[in-house]
Amino acid sequence: MKQTTTLGHSTLDINRIGLGCMGMSEFYGTFDEKESIATLHKALDLGVNFFDTADMYGSGANERLLGKAFQGRWDSLVLATKFAVMRGPNGEFLGLNGKPEYIRQACEDSLQSLRVEAIDLYYMHRKDPEVEIEEIVGTMAELVQQGKVKYLGLSEVDPTTLRRAHAVHPITALQTEYSLWSREPEQELFEVCRELGITFVAYSPLGRGFLTGAIKSRADFEPGDFRLNNPRFTDEAIQQNLKFVEVVDQIAQSKGVTKAQVALAWILSQNDEITVIPGTRKIHRLAENLGALQVTLSEADLATMEAHMPSVTVGNRY
């Protein structure tokens, strides 16, 4: 399996399994800064060079964590961060903002938190419905011209919006949820990304941990875990959606690999450019995820999975 790809309209080669850093600061129960920094350093040592964060993860705490962990090592990696989701002083969500002055300030704040002079890949996290995409990307393009940002990305937009954005300034990456239980991007987005030379970055490729088989009921979550409010993680949905895990487990057992490795290898087998950013705080999980690059799924394996996968996922994504 191809292990690296060139990131969209850049000259940057990235490992096709990157690292999503969100859970190191929020959302998935308890976290430990020392453990997270050790995992970040180990990721670099193991050849991971694509790291994903956002200004809203931990209300800036995640960017500051990466700024601390990667001081003196920025030349070894490609960093993506995002703007648009506003948080209040107590972490409350205040909606979306795509106004030019907000984008400029968000970029300055991220540069300061990360302690870098330029952001490799700057994403619009979600689109502000009040601002046209042309104005948003136009402002982002100014940041490129000023040398504060190298390349532009979008997250969770439809094909029409992606085309409109790309007409203003080349879009290098599109980040969208994609996994065995979230397959909507296959309908149109893959084709548009291929046509425009945009790298597709799959987030939550393990179904927020569900496809690893680690979650069998709501009792498996710590109090405060955001998945407890997610429609896919009601008791009824979990029981129905375990059918996905059964199919993955069947293939994993036949190959002597883990369910996580099969779920990631399945995504990487869709095309040679697609990239995944599974999140983890733990070194052993990081190593396990990277092992997916050594897993080859045959045409028969893929056909078996396709034939036995449930046709619908119970519960909306959010």
Measure the CA–CA gap between 125 and 134, rounded to whole angstroms.
15
User: What range defines the domain where residue 161 resides?
Assistant: 4-308
Cα 49–Cα 166–Cα 52 angle in degrees, nearest 5: 25
Residue 313 belongs to some domain of the structure: no
Residue 317 lies in a domain: no
In a domain, 257, yes or no: yes
CA distances to 26, 48, 104, 187, 313 from 1, in Å: 33, 16, 40, 24, 28
314 inside domain = no
Cite the active site residues: 57
| Phi–psi pair at 54, nearest 5 degrees | -160, 155
Domain at 184, CATH number? 3.20.20.100
Residue 147, sorted as left (phi over 0), alpha (psi -120 to 50) or beta, turns out to be left
What's the chain's length in residues? 318
- CB neighbours (10 Å) of residue 147? 9
Number of domains forming the structure of the chain: 1
Tell the burial category of 86 from Cβ atoms under 10 Å away from its Cβ (0-12, 13-18, 19+).
middle
In a domain, 274, yes or no: yes
Residue 258: partners with Cβ closer than 8 Å, 6 or more residues away: 212, 252, 288, 291
- String of DSSP letters for 98-142: --HHHHHHHHHHHHHHHT-SSEEEEEE-S--TTS-HHHHHHHHHH
**Residue 189, in any domain of the structure:** yes
Tens of each residue's pLDDT in the chain, 318 residues: 899 999 999 999 999 999 999 989 876 566 789 999 999 999 999 999 999 999 999 999 999 999 999 999 999 999 999 999 999 888 899 999 999 999 999 999 999 999 999 999 999 999 999 999 999 999 999 999 999 999 999 999 999 999 999 999 999 999 999 999 899 999 999 999 999 999 999 999 999 888 998 888 788 878 877 788 888 888 888 888 889 999 999 999 999 999 999 999 999 999 999 999 999 989 999 999 999 999 999 999 999 999 999 888 877 887
The candidate with the shortest Cα–Cα distance to 28, out of 60, 4, 62, is 62
Longest dimension (CA), the chain: 55
Would strands 199-203 and 4-6 be described as parallel, antiparallel, or unpaired?
unpaired
Domain membership flag for residue 161: yes
> How many CB atoms lie under 10 A from the CB of residue 237?
18
Model pLDDT, residue 225 = 76
pLDDT given at position 28: 58
Cross-strand pairs, 279: 20
Task: Label the pairing between strands 119-124 and 149-155.
Answer: parallel
The answer to whether position 318 is within a domain reads: no
Cβ neighbours of 232 (radius 10 Å): 20
